[in-house]
Structure 1
Amino acid sequence: MMKKSSEFQNGQITNSINDTTTIQQLSNKTSSSLSSPSPSSSSSSSSTSSSIRRNDKTTTTTTPIRYLGRGLDYRNQSIPYKDDPIERISKLLEQNHTLYTYQYEQVKTMNEIFERGLQQSKNGKCLGQYNTETKTIDWFNYSDVMQRMKLIADGIIKLFNLKPKKSLLGIYSINCMEYTLIEYACYKHSLVIVPIYDTLGTNIASFIANQAELTTIACDTIERLERILEQAQLFHHLKYLIWLKTNDQQITIEIRNKVMEKGFQLYTLKEIETTGADNPIHDDNKPNINDLAIICYTSGTTGTPKGVILTHENIIASITSISIHLMDQHATVDDIMISILPLAHMFQRIGEAAVFIEGGKVVYYSGDIRQLAQEILIIKPTIMLAVPRLLNRIHDTIYSKVRNNILKRWLLHLAYRQKHKYLARHVIRNNTIWDRLVFNRVRKNFGSNIRLICVGAAPLSSDVLDFLRVAIGCVISEGYGQTECVGPCTATLMGDETTGHVGPPLVSCIVKLVDVPEMDYNSCDGRGEILVKGPIVFQGYFKMPQLTSDTLDKDGWLHTGDIGYWSSDGTLRLIDRKKNIFKLQQGEYIAPEKIENILINSQCVQQIFIHGNVFKSMLIAIIVPDLDYIQSLSHQQRLNLQQPLKECTEQQLNSQPLQTNRLKELIINDLKRIGQANGLKSFELPKNIYLRKKLFTIEDGLLTPTLKSKRNAIHNYFTKEIEMLYKELEQ
């Protein structure tokens, strides 16, 4: 079922891809298996193969016209796996039906990535850190980076009593050059890294540290260091702290004394490197493909993080599948990726690794999101990873500037329509008259060189995706996946201009749909829960055997909990969640029933239904208010009622817009008070509400016999009201 590496030769798959074989060549060979059997398709594919090569001196970033997917048949993007109509694989695997686990013979673990990058780049630039003082990029070549990694690796082993293939090291930091240095230093001696994040609360870091029994944690700021010191009693196994930044001037005697008072030892990165230089380890404890590489904690669907166990093989397989799927748009030695999305999650990590493996460059911005727009103009990236919320914001900003100007709005729509004609022919251009008149300003906001944007975390609106592909003039590929399968398991093909789907499976996995009878989804109709299998699927949840068995079945299938269906062209579309849990646009998971169980404690509320979806960044609610209780507060709250609330119609309760509706304001504020008192985050609180006078009942089909909300029924019943609430929020 799994092959260790692969190259198509005369219709067969050999055992390796050597360094003289480009992914472009591979993609041209595989594209013939996707193409319509016409002579013109073959010649088109052939002409493309000579236009872009891995080691070409001409960079892809300055190419104003790119022809995507020549020879590909977008009507047939996935095929049944070994004649099983339920299980599907990428059409790229048509010749052999064998999944990829790695791409290059000499790169089977994370420890071997930089060695190949060094060879491909001929010791070119590798890591860049934006310098806020000089407003330039501080560059470090591959050999310099690898030398520092070696010193850090040997110093860690000497100082912290960590055991290869057994010990874990925590990294509590935003993206920065030193993060990558210490991460790959750990791989040299088969240490397992544990990224730590605290976006879900102050106790999350200690929870992760305790479950992973971390004795050593690296921190990048004084704030994070002090956060650990303030909660020192919660870190039960911690002994050592590492100051992660190269500049150690902030580590004062006072800081060192605080650390000692808490019973910890503090070492700076410089001290670790010096120790490594004085105590070299000549034989690295190199990892095997089945060794653990990362325990990546994900917020998942509850407030308690889950440690996703990933091996070197898992991660390399994911990197391989992405590079091959991107075909001639894969990373090259000429590329610069800007590191924006957090390395505490896997999407950014595998994206950067895919650049390093080809000898490309990664630049870390300052970390101040307020300065990102200015810094990106200097960094001039060619590749970036993004989440829908960022692209939605760009789209909304563009339209906000023309909303009140009829002429500008007309010109924008005209430019979009004219340039979209190229997109429909699988052509990406950024040198048309419409670019000069309208779209170059948009492209300049990305540094003018952007050629590839990969989007994940949540679905992107079709309108936004379509518009930005035209406006920015670059390839935008949308993927779907989970930390449990490292990153994406499906992604849109290069040149596929259609929207509303997340593409076919990648070449390292099988995807199938299974019945969900309680939701009336039947796999025979091409609809059901999405299951994933292959070398990208995780090993289980750390110290959570029951949750592992619930998610990963005995046959190795990952049960995602998402509902999808196969389109006629073999692409996957997301349509529902098996459980009543969903993501907001920014990627935050929402458990609506948990929120409802908390907010029902408001005396203003009799019944409540929380709603949101992946295309919106805020929640709304349908509420049956307790009008008698609110009436008793009317004078105190200055509601200025013209008549008793019980005599008001439902239309009257909702007639005033949100900004002037004192009744809604009163209820929303009370929900906020209750929610905050019970630990709900701001994104878990409804920002607009619809007031219903009549209670939800079993008779009207909105409640089950056990008086639970029938979520699909309520959503369908209030479709117009939900649309109205979101329109008010967008005004």
Structure 2
Amino acid sequence: MPIPKHIPVRYPKDADYANQAYEVPGTKKPGQTGTLTSSAFPLITLDLPDTFHNTVEFFESGLQRIPSPKHPLFGRRPVLSKSPLKRANYYEWIDWETVDLRRRYAGSGIRKLFDDGSAGGRELDVVGLYSGNCPEWQIMDLGLQAYGFVTVSLYDTLGPDTAGTSSILPCSINHVEMTLCALSPQHIPTLLKMASKIPTLKVLVSLDTIPGEEKKILSAWGQSVGIKVLDLEEVEQIGKVNLKAISYPDKNDISTICYTSGTTGVPKGVVMTHGMVANSIHSHTFGMEQDDIPISIGFLPLAHCYGRMCEAVVIARGGSIGYWSGDPVILLEDIQILKPNVFNAVPRVLNRVVQAGMAATKLPGLKGALFRRALQTKTERFHATGELTHPVWDRLVFNKVRAALGGNVGFISSGSAPMSKNAINFIKVAFCVQYLEGYGSTENNGTVTRQWWGDKSAAGTVGAPQPDAEIKLVDVPAMGYTSEDRPYPRGEICVRGDMCFREYYKGTAAIDDEGWQHTGDVAHIDECGRFSIIDRVKNIMKLSQGEYVAVERVEALYSGCPGILQIYVHGDSLQSYLIAIVVPDPVTFAELAGKVWGKQVLPTDTEALQKATKDQDIYNKFMGILNKHGKTTGLQGFEMIKRIYLTNELLTIDNGCLTPTLKIKRKETYNKFKDELDGLYTLPEPSSSKPAKL
């Protein structure tokens, strides 16, 4: 099948930013809005000839667009020394031509192992991927997609010692009856130890070459439990000798089974067909005004559909992906060496960048005054004209800010959680970039809405329908949301399109009779046709006075507060107010403690920071910061946090408080801090006229 000739696709010249969604005539029904689609582009379906139909085609799309076969595709910083660990200040690259050959060798090699009975023999030809982001992950996945395999990506953060998730790893493997897994060498002992719990697994393929003596030990161990241990180099050699022709799957064939992050229980496997993934990839190339060949930093987890989608779009455009070193401490160093022009991120990372940048507004003397003046001038110019650059202030001030992300970033995308308007506008102005926030889920491959390129008033929304999505809002009477609400219709987001899934693996169908996926997210749609997420049908609680609160939304808004590193908001239906567990940002918290105590406090002084969490004066100051932020973000009085428990103990995957995609596991987090939270509710009713008490 022919692949799309023109990507990325620009907006039409007559695109109307005041009317970004089009209501299909005759689709309005009682209790819901009409069906809304993109007003800029016709609906993209798999029936169109000029589109992607499977995941093999997007790689071949990139091959057709690269300037030469030697154009770099995947890169990483080489390790110069392991003890102490030292990485080079440059990237080494694998070019497109080499990746093309290696994906064929890897895919053919795995197919040979299935054909000779070393693996396979189950309902699906499933291959697991259990590794952090690296070139080999993508090479293996590209090969598997090209030879008819179903991939299942396992979160690299899962392991037998991970609190609260010890059963997820074997459950996922057993659920799909996985017989072969490609993985990082450090994970090989993990799976060999649990061999008796994962009886279908027969072959492990290390994505890195294993040193000779270590290979002998692991092979012997594997043999003793009935599991063959190979490495990618061996598999590619097998494939080279037994090279097969690439297959082009049907749009209805299963491409991957992606497990949701599981904030409320064991994850479910979302069945993603080739057509579903391909349709999403194509959709994400629309409304892109960037002509440069993309260069991106690969740090979003490839086990999650958002990270995978972001990289697929770069590949489809013939771009380059440099992988991070895997250490959050040196992520910015990786970026500054790579100098990407595309930065696909999440609010957790972007909020830290914003907080670091905003620190310049507090500088004393001329430097601080200059930065504040520059920021004010550019912000006013942006709101008036949409211009992101300034001939004077960029040269004098903001080029230094841009250097934090390498100096070349022109486009930032964000998903998974909202960011505050102020933070978004700061990113646009200070980094001179287009910032596009979107909305989606694993069940629709992260493809539902996205802000339009150049929309100067989009902050606070998640944008308009993507070109492959049909959307409607359905009334939620129990929560008081209706499609007749004014000024904006409100209701549960329902989505339909070829990018939507149909079922969970070995589960029931998950769409209604008309093909609509009910997301559980509540939104309103504004006068420009842009959606804003305002609530959640599930995971809401009612306070004692009868007010409903979406605690996840409250968390998201407070997360943008300077000084907060992590926050867990808690409510009780027998109480009239919200409380929270707050992990303060050590830099900001040390500065606050220093001001209260009248002496310098270092962010690395853990003893002092621990003492600060128990200091009533510091607590009162911190609550003042929270209250001011809550009012700024528009939270209503009953949504404001009235008491907090300050702790320097991070919520992590290891202590069971976070999912592998770093979302809060509510039940586990409450159980961990049950005594502290219950203790806050035993204190006298908080009063706005008196300082909050510890």
C-alpha displacement of 1:657? 5.2
- Equivalent position SS for 1:618: strand
Q: Determine if contact 1:529/1:562 at 8 Å carries over to the other structure.
A: yes
1:385 equivalent among 344, 354, 369: 344
Instruction: Please name the residue that 1:90 is paired with.
Output: 38
Instruction: Please name the residue that 1:280 is paired with.
Output: 243
Q: Given the superposition, is the C-alpha separation of residues 132 and 677 from structure 1 closer, same or farther in structure 2, using an over 3 Å criterion?
A: closer
C-alpha displacement of 1:554? 1.8
Q: Given the superposition, is the C-alpha separation of residues 251 and 145 from structure 1 closer, same or farther in structure 2, using an over 3 Å criterion?
A: farther
C-alpha displacement of 1:368? 2.0
Amino acid of the residue matched to residue 452 of structure 2? Answer: L
Do structure 1's residue 217 and structure 2's residue 181 form an aligned pair?
yes
Instruction: Please name the residue that 1:505 is paired with.
Output: 465
Do structure 1's residue 188 and structure 2's residue 146 form an aligned pair?
yes
2:93 equivalent among 131, 134, 139: 139
CA offsets, 1:124-178, max 9 Å, x none?
Answer: 2222222232432121221110100001111101123447993111000111000
CA offsets, 1:536-584, max 9 Å, x none?
Answer: 1012111121xx44xx212111111010011011100111000116xxx
- Equivalent position SS for 1:362: strand
Q: Given the superposition, is the C-alpha separation of residues 150 and 668 from structure 1 closer, same or farther in structure 2, using an over 3 Å criterion?
A: closer
Instruction: Please name the residue that 2:640 is paired with.
Output: none
Amino acid of the residue matched to residue 254 of structure 1? Answer: I
Do structure 1's residue 76 and structure 2's residue 35 form an aligned pair?
no
Do structure 1's residue 544 and structure 2's residue 502 form an aligned pair?
no
- Equivalent position SS for 2:255: strand
Q: Given the superposition, is the C-alpha separation of residues 155 and 440 from structure 1 closer, same or farther in structure 2, using an over 3 Å criterion?
A: same
Q: Pairwise CA RMSD of aligned residues?
A: 3.7
CA distance in 2, matches of 1:660, 1:421: 31
Of residues 616-625 and 213-222 in structure 1, the stretch that sits farther from structure 2 once superposed is 616-625
Amino acid of the residue matched to residue 619 of structure 1? Answer: Y
2:359 equivalent among 400, 411, 419: 400
CA distance in 2, matches of 1:131, 1:724: 54
Q: Determine if contact 2:73/2:320 at 8 Å carries over to the other structure.
A: yes
CA distance in 2, matches of 1:389, 1:195: 22
Amino acid of the residue matched to residue 394 of structure 1? Answer: V
Q: Determine if contact 2:73/2:93 at 8 Å carries over to the other structure.
A: yes
Do structure 1's residue 452 and structure 2's residue 411 form an aligned pair?
yes
CA offsets, 1:354-411, max 9 Å, x none?
Answer: 1111211111122222222212111111112110111111111223354363654433
Q: Given the superposition, is the C-alpha separation of residues 467 and 18 from structure 1 closer, same or farther in structure 2, using an over 3 Å criterion?
A: closer
C-alpha displacement of 1:614? 1.8
- Equivalent position SS for 2:287: helix
Amino acid of the residue matched to residue 137 of structure 2? Answer: Y
CA distance in 2, matches of 1:676, 1:504: 38
Instruction: Please name the residue that 1:207 is paired with.
Output: 171
- Equivalent position SS for 2:75: strand
- In the TM superposition, what are the counterparts of 1:33-432 in structure 2 within 5 Å? 34=15, 73-85=16-28, 86=33, 87-93=35-41, 98-101=43-46, 105=50, 107-121=52-66, 122-123=68-69, 124-133=71-80, 134-160=88-114, 161-162=119-120, 166-197=124-155, 198-199=157-158, 201-222=165-186, 224-246=187-209, 251-281=214-244, 283-326=245-288, 328-329=289-290, 334-403=293-362, 405=364, 407-424=366-383, 427-430=386-389, 432=391
CA distance in 2, matches of 1:475, 1:724: 42
Of residues 230-239 and 450-459 in structure 1, the stretch that sits farther from structure 2 once superposed is 230-239
C-alpha displacement of 1:508? 0.1
Of residues 424-433 and 441-450 in structure 1, the stretch that sits farther from structure 2 once superposed is 424-433
Amino acid of the residue matched to residue 119 of structure 1? Answer: Q
C-alpha displacement of 1:472? 0.7
Instruction: Please name the residue that 1:59 is paired with.
Output: none
Amino acid of the residue matched to residue 449 of structure 1? Answer: N
Q: Determine if contact 2:656/2:669 at 8 Å carries over to the other structure.
A: no
C-alpha displacement of 1:325? 2.6
C-alpha displacement of 1:429? 4.1
Q: Determine if contact 1:610/1:686 at 8 Å carries over to the other structure.
A: no
Instruction: Please name the residue that 1:528 is paired with.
Output: 491
CA distance in 2, matches of 1:279, 1:76: 56
Amino acid of the residue matched to residue 60 of structure 2? Answer: E
CA distance in 1, matches of 2:232, 2:21: 48
Do structure 1's residue 441 and structure 2's residue 400 form an aligned pair?
yes
CA distance in 1, matches of 2:271, 2:281: 17
CA distance in 1, matches of 2:47, 2:292: 19
CA offsets, 1:192-215, max 9 Å, x none?
Answer: 100001456232211110111101
Q: Determine if contact 1:131/1:137 at 8 Å carries over to the other structure.
A: yes
Instruction: Please name the residue that 1:589 is paired with.
Output: none
Q: Determine if contact 2:104/2:246 at 8 Å carries over to the other structure.
A: no
CA distance in 2, matches of 1:508, 1:381: 28
- Equivalent position SS for 1:511: strand
CA distance in 2, matches of 1:684, 1:438: 47
Amino acid of the residue matched to residue 370 of structure 1? Answer: V
Q: Given the superposition, is the C-alpha separation of residues 666 and 392 from structure 1 closer, same or farther in structure 2, using an over 3 Å criterion?
A: closer
CA distance in 1, matches of 2:648, 2:378: 47
1:518 equivalent among 472, 478, 493: 478
Normalising by structure 2, what TM-score?
0.76
Q: Given the superposition, is the C-alpha separation of residues 457 and 175 from structure 1 closer, same or farther in structure 2, using an over 3 Å criterion?
A: same
CA offsets, 1:262-303, max 9 Å, x none?
Answer: 22111100100111111122x333311111101010124422
Q: Determine if contact 1:333/1:361 at 8 Å carries over to the other structure.
A: no
Query: What is the aligned-residue identity percentage?
Result: 30
Q: Determine if contact 2:287/2:452 at 8 Å carries over to the other structure.
A: yes
Q: Given the superposition, is the C-alpha separation of residues 428 and 244 from structure 1 closer, same or farther in structure 2, using an over 3 Å criterion?
A: farther
C-alpha displacement of 1:421? 3.6
CA offsets, 1:632-684, max 9 Å, x none?
Answer: xxxxxxxxxxxxxxxxxxxxx997654999xx9999999x9xx9799965598
Number of aligned residue pairs = 581
CA offsets, 1:480-514, max 9 Å, x none?
Answer: 11010001310100111221111100000111100
CA distance in 2, matches of 1:79, 1:297: 33
Instruction: Please name the residue that 2:610 is paired with.
Output: none
Do structure 1's residue 558 and structure 2's residue 517 form an aligned pair?
yes
2:529 equivalent among 547, 555, 570: 570
Q: Given the superposition, is the C-alpha separation of residues 534 and 105 from structure 1 closer, same or farther in structure 2, using an over 3 Å criterion?
A: same
Instruction: Please name the residue that 1:605 is paired with.
Output: none
Q: Determine if contact 1:100/1:507 at 8 Å carries over to the other structure.
A: no
CA distance in 2, matches of 1:399, 1:172: 38
Q: Given the superposition, is the C-alpha separation of residues 127 and 425 from structure 1 closer, same or farther in structure 2, using an over 3 Å criterion?
A: farther
Amino acid of the residue matched to residue 275 of structure 2? Answer: E
Q: Determine if contact 1:457/1:480 at 8 Å carries over to the other structure.
A: yes
Q: Given the superposition, is the C-alpha separation of residues 569 and 107 from structure 1 closer, same or farther in structure 2, using an over 3 Å criterion?
A: closer
Q: Determine if contact 2:46/2:52 at 8 Å carries over to the other structure.
A: no
- Equivalent position SS for 2:484: helix
C-alpha displacement of 1:114? 2.0
Gaps of 5+ in 1: 5-15, 35-72, 582-591, 597-607, 626-652, 697-717
- Equivalent position SS for 1:136: coil
Amino acid of the residue matched to residue 390 of structure 1? Answer: V
- In the TM superposition, what are the counterparts of 1:460-499 in structure 2 within 5 Å? 460-498=419-457, 499=459
C-alpha displacement of 1:453? 0.8
Amino acid of the residue matched to residue 207 of structure 1? Answer: C
CA distance in 2, matches of 1:669, 1:496: 39
Q: Given the superposition, is the C-alpha separation of residues 427 and 227 from structure 1 closer, same or farther in structure 2, using an over 3 Å criterion?
A: same
Do structure 1's residue 613 and structure 2's residue 555 form an aligned pair?
yes
C-alpha displacement of 1:423? 2.4
Q: Given the superposition, is the C-alpha separation of residues 657 and 358 from structure 1 closer, same or farther in structure 2, using an over 3 Å criterion?
A: closer
